[in-house]
Structure 1
């Protein structure tokens, strides 16, 4: 991994934006066009699945804008609390209005996570009113214990890493082995969860003629992490007693 950034050497101002990746910080000031990709101000990785120039950040009319300048990859963008989520498709742009914005995307088998910080955000996050006994509606998709274990097996490397950065996405065979399942059972759970999220309006969960199996798993992990569908605190469930195939076929 390499990282470089002309903004890293500039003095911060009240309008500055900080890009945090893998423990490093890059300061971007109005007038800069900060580029993220295989090349650019933040040269993330030599991953050939990643665009040379994938994301740009620039200050336009008193707003910071995040743009997807790639042609194939999308990014999941959320506020720090996981309460607001957007899918940034190729050609799309999004204003950055929160104090901290998480950007998660996958290129091939690798998932990347960076955080964008604003000192003077347009919106301040507010604590939600506790009208439902502390239960959150974000990512509130009913899952069976086995379905949650399936998601955790895929998301485990990303949940265990320290700080922002990158993690390798397990193959279906590796995740199935982690759970002690057959590959057929794992794929059935994956199909069921992706269908459930697709019906809930989550984009990218259905495969197509030009879609690869890796893409759907990566998109599931992106969604699960960014919406707190699973968290690091859920990891002990991976080693919890597992229902047999006959007890949980969903």
Structure 2
């Protein structure tokens, strides 16, 4: 689905991201991990076409990323940035409705499937009871879920989410990740998400790409990543794995 080759991004004369090759396949659930400044958001913004690389090639379904018209790109890729824009004056339903514009535009007649997609997204994210509330009146976590609902209504086959759990309490973090995992399994939508929580990533991801210093430090399954030595080297802090009651997989804790 997405292919990156010989990628480099430079800022102030230095390389902040350099990747020889990275393939993101259709239907996969990939989490990007790494400490602050490791290049996670830079990589996500490249995938979301927020800016081009200084060197290298990015392709989506075999075509250069830059060759897509914006509307066609939005039909294939839905992006949730880390810092959400203001939506003054919009209700939650109106915000979620924006997810249908890549398919209908401003002038085309709206179809019953559009309203169904909006209603379904509101229900899936558990914010249907806020549909008529102003979006900017919601709490941070509720507003985050409203934006995720907009992405779901967009029905793009690839979802890019930059720290989608950052404003959520623990229950809603797991609720959102459970929802995304179910969508991935049931609809085949590919998901790429930046997370900070190793244990949350290990629980839900098929694949983890870990960056360090703008380079790929690890690319593999959660079980392959869950090594005290490997995690300690990734985060430059002593990490060990401990048993969790009733679970086969150990969890990572800082020593």
Q: Which has the higher helix share?
A: 2
TM-score by length of 1: 0.29
Greater RCO (CA < 8 Å, at least 6 residues apart): 2
TM-score by length of 2: 0.28
